Amino acid sequence: MARMETVAYTPDSLESFEREWMLHRGCSEWWYCTGIVETEDGHRYTYQFTLVSMGAVPVVRPKLLQVALTDMVTGEHHYLQDVSLSGRKATLADDRLAYSDRFELIRDADGMRVRLRHKDFSIDVRLGWGKGAFWHCDNGKLYMGVEGDEKATTYYYSYPHMPTTGTLTFKDKAEPVTGKTWFDKQGGNYPLTARESQWEWMSLRFHDGEEMMLFAFPHMGYADGTYITADGRSERLNDYTLTTTRTITHAGKKWSAGWDLVVPGKKEERYTIAPIFDGNINLSYFEELCSVRNEAGEEVALAFVELLPGVLNEDNKGGSASLLKGVEF
């Protein structure tokens, strides 16, 4: 199994999804997955993992793993994170990512196999390629908060519609699950702690098989995104308005917890987005699974939302150590 290659960071001339899967010189980057699965009796869960390679320390590149499961019936949330300062706990190869015995991802011709292990649950699922991968924003290039700032960019692509089957073991009970998973690869050279780069991100997963990715920087009044049709066409989506309608306080920080979305000329154009539960802290960001409704009040999509604290909290840049209380290392 070949060790992962390190390639140059070329956000203006991204060559292929295969090349950008690799590590990039001078960049921090991550493989990020959010899935929605159900048991045979309709009990819904969300699962998530993030494997981060921190390019700010170029010699050893510390690695960070995050794993989470949320019971969307009861709201029960299970989370762990583990940091390897030397990077030795992580394995990065062309077709396999792993982190100790907590996480493994294997790629092959038919898709990915993902295994996660937490003291309270385990999940072993197969992800099909679905509609395939899509570049986001400007042919895969996203400015992180300040449009035109070449020192604050990322490359970004996703597999947004991966059919998912496998087994979830929770509370000593193993059950078959099915669903859909959204998989991201992203990274770049932007300053990790700059408030200008703090975002509110959404992946809208419409029941009709279409998707929208919204990457908003409300503090800077800037947003970008992507619209993906059911038949696999995509286009840049940066003419939309996302307005926070409700906020909550959690872990001493203020977070958005409701939005009005206006997307001129796309689908039904106007939507309301509201959390099914008020969300959970994972490290120094906040995650929510939301219901997306049209003006008639009908649920037309589910949305996974990721929020950073610097958006609504002026005293917060890259997060707060207080947010780590209760997290398993």
The CATH number of the domain holding residue 271 is 2.40.370.10
What pLDDT digit, counting tens, does each position of 127-179 carry?
Answer: 999 999 999 999 999 999 988 989 899 999 999 999 999 999 999 999 999 99
Write out the residue range of the structural domain in which residue 55 sits: 14-324
pLDDT average, residue stretch 216-225: 94
Is there a domain that residue 7 lies in? no
What pLDDT digit, counting tens, does each position of 264-275 carry?
Answer: 999 999 999 999
Q: Tell me the average pLDDT of the chain.
A: 92
pLDDT average, residue stretch 16-21: 96
| The predicted structure's pLDDT at residue 180 | 98
Q: What would the 3-class secondary structure string for the chain be?
A: CCECCEECCCCCCCCCHHHHCCEECCCEEEEEEEEEEEECCCCEEEEEEEEEECCCCCCCCCEEEEEEEEECCCCCEEEEEEEECCCCCEEEECCEEEECCCEEEEEECCEEEEEEEECCEEEEEEEECCCCCEECCECCEEECCCCCCCCCEEEEEEEEEEEEEEEEEECCEEEEEEEEEEEEEEEECCCCCCHHHCCEEEEEEECCCCEEEEEEECCCCEEEEEEECCCCCEEECCCCEEEECCEEEECCEEEECCEEEECCCCCCCEEEEEECCCCEEECCEEEEEEEEECCCCCEEEEEEEEECHHHCCCCCCCCCHHHHCCCEC
Is there a domain that residue 51 lies in? yes
Is there a domain that residue 5 lies in? no
Is residue 278 very low, low, confident or very high in pLDDT (cuts 50, 70, 90)?
confident
Is there a domain that residue 305 lies in? yes
| The predicted structure's pLDDT at residue 235 | 98
Is there a domain that residue 25 lies in? yes
Q: How many domains does the chain have?
A: 1
Is there a domain that residue 273 lies in? yes
Contact 9, 27 (CB under 8 A): yes
pLDDT at residue 283 above 60? yes
Is there a domain that residue 310 lies in? yes
pLDDT at residue 317 above 80? no
Is there a domain that residue 329 lies in? no
pLDDT at residue 305 above 80? yes
Lowest mean pLDDT segment, chosen from 23-27, 54-58, 243-247 = 54-58
What pLDDT digit, counting tens, does each position of 43-78 carry?
Answer: 999 999 999 998 866 677 899 999 999 999 999 999
